[in-house]
Structure 1
Amino acid sequence: MPLGRVIEEPVPLAAGRVSLRVVRPRDAEPLRQLLVNNRGWLQRWEATHPSGRSVVPGSTSMRPTIRLYRKQLKAGSGVPFVVLFDNTVVGQLSISELSGGALQSSQIGYWISEHVAGQGIAPTAVALAMDYVFTVLGLHRVEICIRPENTASLRVVEKLGMRSEGRRNAYIHIDGDWRDHECFVALREEGPMLARLERGGGSRV
Structure 2
Amino acid sequence: MVHVWPLTLRDEELVLRPLRRRDRPEFDRLRERNRAWLRPWDATDPERAARQLPFTALRRWNDRQARLGWYLPLAITAGGRLAGQITAGPIQYGALRSTVLGYWIDRERAGAGLVPRATALMIDHLFAELGLHRIEVTVRPENTASLRVVEKLHLRPEGLRRSAIHVDGAWRDHLVFALTAEEVTTGADGHGVLARLHREFPSDTPTG
TM-score (norm 1): 0.90
Shift of 1:48: 1.0
Q: Residue 28 of structure 1 contacts residue 61 of structure 1 at CA under 8 Å; is this kept in 2?
A: no
Match of 2:150 among 157, 163, 167: 157
Give the whole-Å Cα distance in 2 for the aligned partners of 1:97 and 1:45.
19
Residue in structure 2 matched with residue 41 of structure 1 by the alignment: 37
Match of 2:129 among 117, 129, 136: 136
Match of 2:83 among 90, 109, 113: 90
Q: 1:34 to 1:152 in 2, by over 3 A?
A: same
Q: Residue 2 of structure 2 contacts residue 130 of structure 2 at CA under 8 Å; is this kept in 1?
A: no
Q: 1:66 to 1:6 in 2, by over 3 A?
A: farther
Match of 1:173 among 152, 166, 187: 166
Shift of 1:52: 3.8
* Paired residue secondary structure (1:106): strand
Cα RMSD for the two superposed structures:
1.6
* Paired residue secondary structure (1:180): strand
Residue in structure 1 matched with residue 204 of structure 2 by the alignment: none
Q: Residue 163 of structure 2 contacts residue 171 of structure 2 at CA under 8 Å; is this kept in 1?
A: yes
Give unpaired runs (5+ residues) of structure 2: 185-191, 202-208
In the TM superposition, what whole-angstrom CA distance separates every residue of 1:46-105 from its partner, at most 9, and x where no partner exists?
A: 1111124221x3xx6311111001000111100110001112111011110211000000
* Mapping for residues 102-113 of structure 1, pairs under 5 Å: 102-113=95-106
- Give 1:22's aligned amino acid: P
- Give 1:149's aligned amino acid: E
Residue in structure 1 matched with residue 109 of structure 2 by the alignment: 116
Query: After TM superposition, which residue ranges in structure 1, 4 or more long, deviate above 4 angstroms?
Result: none
Match status 1:21 vs 2:24:
no
Q: Residue 106 of structure 1 contacts residue 141 of structure 1 at CA under 8 Å; is this kept in 2?
A: yes
Figure out how many residues of one structure are paired with residues of the other and give that number.
194
Give the whole-Å Cα distance in 2 for the aligned partners of 1:33 and 1:90.
11
Identity of aligned pairs, percent?
41
Q: Residue 163 of structure 1 contacts residue 184 of structure 1 at CA under 8 Å; is this kept in 2?
A: yes
Residue in structure 2 matched with residue 31 of structure 1 by the alignment: 27
- Give 1:64's aligned amino acid: A
* Mapping for residues 53-68 of structure 1, pairs under 5 Å: 53-55=49-51, 57=52, 61-68=54-61
Q: Residue 7 of structure 1 contacts residue 75 of structure 1 at CA under 8 Å; is this kept in 2?
A: no
TM-score (norm 2): 0.88
Shift of 1:10: 4.9
